[in-house]
Structure 1
Amino acid sequence: MRTTKSLALAMAGLLLATTMAAAQPTEIRIGVALEPPALDPTAGAAEAIDVVVYQNIFEGLTRIDQNGAVQPGLAESWTISEDGLSYRFSLHDGVTFHDGTSFDAEDVKFTFDRLLAENSVNAQKALYAPITAVTVIDPLTVEFTLSRPDGLFLFNLGRGDAVIVAPESADNNASEPIGTGPFAFLQWDRGSRVILEQYGPYWGDKPSLTKASYVFISDTATMTNALLAGDIDGTNNFAPEALAIFEGNPQFKVLVGSTEGETILATNNRKAPFDNLKVRQAIAHGLDRAEIIEGATYGYGVPIGTHFAPHHPYYLDLTNTYPYDPAAAKALLAEAGFPDGFSATLKLPPVAYARLSGQIIASQLAQVGIKLELINVEWAQWLEDVLTNKDFDLTIVSHVEPFDIGIYANPDYYFGYNNSEVQALNETLNATTDEAQRKALAGEIQTIIARDAVNGYLFELAQTGVWNAKLDGMWPNAPVEGVVLRDIHWTE
């Protein structure tokens, strides 16, 4: 009997061990390039903050999905007044913050009163300037009153800058963030990692993951080794020049998508000869996007012909507005009074895509008679010279803010484009909430700035993720900043 009992126990132990070994993992370790300076997205501009906390720890009244569309968040529904000046939100019941305190309309009011306060340090405070009042109707109903219609209001409520915080914990969110999301903050090992754990009483659908670590690895070689050794399970944006290591490896999946980073040859439209449309058209005809994309992004950038993200439903493909045609470029320069071309400067910030693109573009434009002097600058100097003082001829930069076509309606913006038609269209767009009308208006603006060759439109920065082949549910695109965990799961 003793032998039989021992055998049964041994078999049971073996079965348990086998079951445990076969069980799907529920934890993930994600490599990210930058450590956030703090963990409160409502009080800091660094993208690295949202990478960790957006839709994980913190949530807004709305949320942005992986296609850039607005979805319900802490608000289960809303109604908009006919004049577009009032938004009434119905909030989910039974929601709690990670410290156990309840969420209700008073927290919404507190969040936006804090965001709009005179001493607010919110990086995107200007986006919420139309808000004139936030009124608590009852614990689960809150109303926003606007000074003017704002077609991006629901989208902006879904950004990391507008996540809901509680008065009990807001002051400590920089180091000990407390939100309503599916994951709660566990620990921050400075210089190493941030660890999140699944929040048991979460009000929505529970994620598959029970724990997530964001591991800070700034060096490409170190990130590569960590992936190959299994020290991390993936990264959302890996250096494209090293992707070949993983593309043929069955242990990994490479996800290539787009970001909100419109990469442009920015042009000083207020300065001769770039104030001449024919000169700008000549530059556009002189750019071979395919060669630029291959050389600067290792083939992973997505060509653009206007200032809009290709993954957005409003996007128009205008890449053929001025196709690569050196002969046409030379003819336009001659018509503009520059039969022998001219010389100009190209200021390049310290990022690989800009420096590499600059070398290629200098070679391409030299073939049509435009001789460029490449000037490498650090970010502080770029911000002062280009963005603030407008002291430049040409520069290369990625504009990473979502839905930022409105910059073309600001003649004081650094590239100095002044078009009254675009300004009027943008004003109408900002005041329009109907999706079909918004799409048409956005399309008109895209078409005009492409036709006017305001800037040289090059490519959308790619998001190139490398992940364990057994993981699924990661966002291929980055319509907003963040590595959203809610749908990530192990498949085996």
Structure 2
Amino acid sequence: MNRTMRTLSSGLVLLLASVVAAPLASAQSVTIAIGSEPSTLDAQLRDDGGERQVNDNIYEALMARTPTGELVPGLAAAAPVQIDEKTWEFKLRDGIKFHNGEVFNADAVVASVLRVIDPANKSEQMAYLGPLAGAEKVDDLTVRIVTSAPDPILPARMYWLKMVPAAYSKDPAIGEKPVGTGPYTFVGWDRGNSIALSANADYWGGAPQIDDVTFRFVTEAGTRLSGLMAGEFDVIVNLLPEFADSVPQAKTVSGLDTSVIILGIDNPAVKDVRVRRALNMAIDRQTLADSLFAGHAGVTKGQLILPGAFGYNEDLAAWPYDPAGAKALIEEAGATGTVINLVGESGRWLKDREMIEAIAAYWTEIGIKVNVEILEFSVYLDRIFDMSKRPDSYFVLNSNELFDADREMAFAYEPGQGGAANSDKALGEAIVAARSQVDVEKRKAAYKEITRKINEEAYDVPLLNHRDIYGLSARMDWQPRVDAKLIVKEMKVNE
């Protein structure tokens, strides 16, 4: 385990010490280093963090959040009004246009909703959208969102769903040349290297201070770090915590991410609950948190649900670190020597490869043979969303922008949805029922029972709750958001 837990090599430390700061770009231009290249710039079809980091500046939604997480109107002129148990009415802001000149109105909202829910588009984002069923135009500035069942968190879902232009959304080019209503317009995509955006001078919310932004795709955390120290980058994501005191500015914020291993419980390798429990008991989560994240992560309390989100189960306890007990369970199940495929990626999240390798080592120590597959991010997404054959296990950091347990339920546990890897019909029915329960106390009780069952059956291996860590150049003035969005119009530069 020691090699897995080591931080950067002494070579990188020497490199950082020898860096001579290069001149920074002009005050109106910034460069942001992110961990993965977007698999597409279509804002509605993939569940891809790299895509969101770019498109959050190009596209907007009916609802928005403040940097501290408060839900507020976005393209909507006000909070929605619930017409009946399955219908919410939104009034829209007037005078807004998409970057290509198309008018933002009720037609655009209807087109956006119908496009994302169209089964032919196979959107990976449906795990965020629950029972969204359609939209109806009332007049140019009034639209009604319709659900197939009562949905108490529909306003929060409309913070997620980006609005696309009605006509242009039918053009396949939208995946490479995005067009939104946001503060920045698309300039160009240098495949494998960067994406450039430019300030929208006609932005309805006022032109942003920063004129140009370049998103660079830098998988290796050490390379992002050295680029920041050299003056090549103004903002880097996933700053290595052990170097927080070495950069011009380090900013942290309570994150929305929980690391987890989703288990394909229908697969022979992990079908036995004793094996699944052993996989949980084999991992020393506190050592992972301390050794890899230096206080910027905490051990999960037996669940994927984000602490503070509606539906978090306060009664669950962290899985104990008990390698002897885990090994005994593996032997009892006759699973010694069983091969488990563990799918992951590298660079999208802070120290993701290190975590995957550490977990594989823990599992090996209890008698399991682990086949680790580290995939390029777009290939990784294809694998985890392939409903025809889920991996035995896969590593992911799940984010909960909805601040509600339904996000985790829809992504990780509801059969046939998101990245869920089970065929538990009863669990699925319970999740659907909880989603549509409008009585707050009954809904809390439903999630308490669901999370208890998931924990008891060990349907997953929850790991850590993570804080977001950013590195900034000396000239940057920015406070990171709780939802991890890189909203450039909220950034300023100081000379």
TM-score (norm. length: structure 2): 0.76
Change in Cα spacing, 1:414 to 1:201, as seen in structure 2 (3 Å) is closer
Contact (CA 8 Å) 1:314, 1:443: kept in 2 or not?
Answer: yes
The aligned residue for residue 4 of structure 2 is none
Within the candidate set 417, 430, 436, 1:431 is matched to 436
The aligned residue for residue 459 of structure 1 is 464
> For residues 169 and 427 of structure 1, what CA distance do their matches in structure 2 show?
30
Q: Could you give the per-residue CA deviations for residues 73-92 of structure 1, whole angstroms, max 9, x where no partner exists?
A: 2112211134x211111111
Contact (CA 8 Å) 2:35, 2:217: kept in 1 or not?
Answer: yes
Change in Cα spacing, 1:66 to 1:436, as seen in structure 2 (3 Å) is farther
- The residue type paired with residue 459 of structure 1 is L
**Pairwise CA distance, 1:306:** 0.5
> For residues 385 and 89 of structure 1, what CA distance do their matches in structure 2 show?
35
Change in Cα spacing, 1:191 to 1:287, as seen in structure 2 (3 Å) is closer
Question: Could you tell which deviates more after superposition, 439-448 or 173-182?
Answer: 439-448
Within the candidate set 41, 44, 58, 1:42 is matched to 44
Contact (CA 8 Å) 1:266, 1:397: kept in 2 or not?
Answer: no
Question: Could you tell which deviates more after superposition, 287-296 or 435-444?
Answer: 435-444
Change in Cα spacing, 1:436 to 1:350, as seen in structure 2 (3 Å) is same
The aligned residue for residue 14 of structure 2 is none
- 1:46-195 correspondence runs (5 A): 46-54=48-56, 56-64=57-65, 70-75=71-76, 76-82=78-84, 84-117=85-118, 119-120=120-121, 122-124=123-125, 130-159=131-160, 162-167=162-167, 171=171, 172-195=173-196
**Pairwise CA distance, 1:302:** 3.2
Change in Cα spacing, 1:485 to 1:85, as seen in structure 2 (3 Å) is same
The aligned residue for residue 344 of structure 1 is 338
Within the candidate set 294, 302, 305, 1:308 is matched to 305
Change in Cα spacing, 1:258 to 1:269, as seen in structure 2 (3 Å) is farther
User: SS where residue 186 of structure 2 aligns?
Assistant: strand
Question: Could you tell which deviates more after superposition, 382-391 or 165-174?
Answer: 382-391
**Pairwise CA distance, 1:62:** 1.9
Root-mean-square deviation (CA), in Å? 4.0
Q: Could you give the per-residue CA deviations for residues 321-342 of structure 1, whole angstroms, max 9, x where no partner exists?
A: 53334566577x3xx9829983
> For residues 169 and 339 of structure 1, what CA distance do their matches in structure 2 show?
52
> For residues 173 and 266 of structure 1, what CA distance do their matches in structure 2 show?
34
User: SS where residue 137 of structure 2 aligns?
Assistant: strand
> For residues 474 and 454 of structure 1, what CA distance do their matches in structure 2 show?
37
**Pairwise CA distance, 1:59:** 0.8
The aligned residue for residue 409 of structure 2 is 405
Q: Could you give the per-residue CA deviations for residues 192-212 of structure 1, whole angstroms, max 9, x where no partner exists?
A: 433323323322365443332
Contact (CA 8 Å) 2:298, 2:465: kept in 1 or not?
Answer: yes
> For residues 302 and 116 of structure 1, what CA distance do their matches in structure 2 show?
36
Change in Cα spacing, 1:68 to 1:448, as seen in structure 2 (3 Å) is farther
> For residues 226 and 148 of structure 1, what CA distance do their matches in structure 2 show?
49
Structure 1 residue runs without a partner (length 5+): 1-23
Change in Cα spacing, 1:285 to 1:38, as seen in structure 2 (3 Å) is closer
Contact (CA 8 Å) 1:30, 1:234: kept in 2 or not?
Answer: yes
> For residues 454 and 299 of structure 2, what CA distance do their matches in structure 1 show?
16
User: SS where residue 80 of structure 2 aligns?
Assistant: strand
Question: Could you tell which deviates more after superposition, 356-365 or 68-77?
Answer: 356-365
- 1:211-250 correspondence runs (5 A): 211-238=212-239, 240=240, 243-245=241-243, 247-249=244-246
Structure 1 position 487 matched with structure 2 position 490: yes
Change in Cα spacing, 1:366 to 1:146, as seen in structure 2 (3 Å) is closer
Q: Could you give the per-residue CA deviations for residues 465-488 of structure 1, whole angstroms, max 9, x where no partner exists?
A: 211244343435446xx4222322
**Pairwise CA distance, 1:263:** 1.7
> For residues 476 and 37 of structure 1, what CA distance do their matches in structure 2 show?
24
> For residues 67 and 167 of structure 1, what CA distance do their matches in structure 2 show?
35
Contact (CA 8 Å) 2:109, 2:163: kept in 1 or not?
Answer: no
TM-score (norm. length: structure 1): 0.76
Structure 2 residue runs without a partner (length 5+): 1-25, 401-406
The aligned residue for residue 15 of structure 2 is none
The aligned residue for residue 19 of structure 1 is none
Percent pairwise identity: 23
Query: How many pairs were matched up?
Result: 452
Contact (CA 8 Å) 1:61, 1:164: kept in 2 or not?
Answer: no
> For residues 341 and 37 of structure 1, what CA distance do their matches in structure 2 show?
38
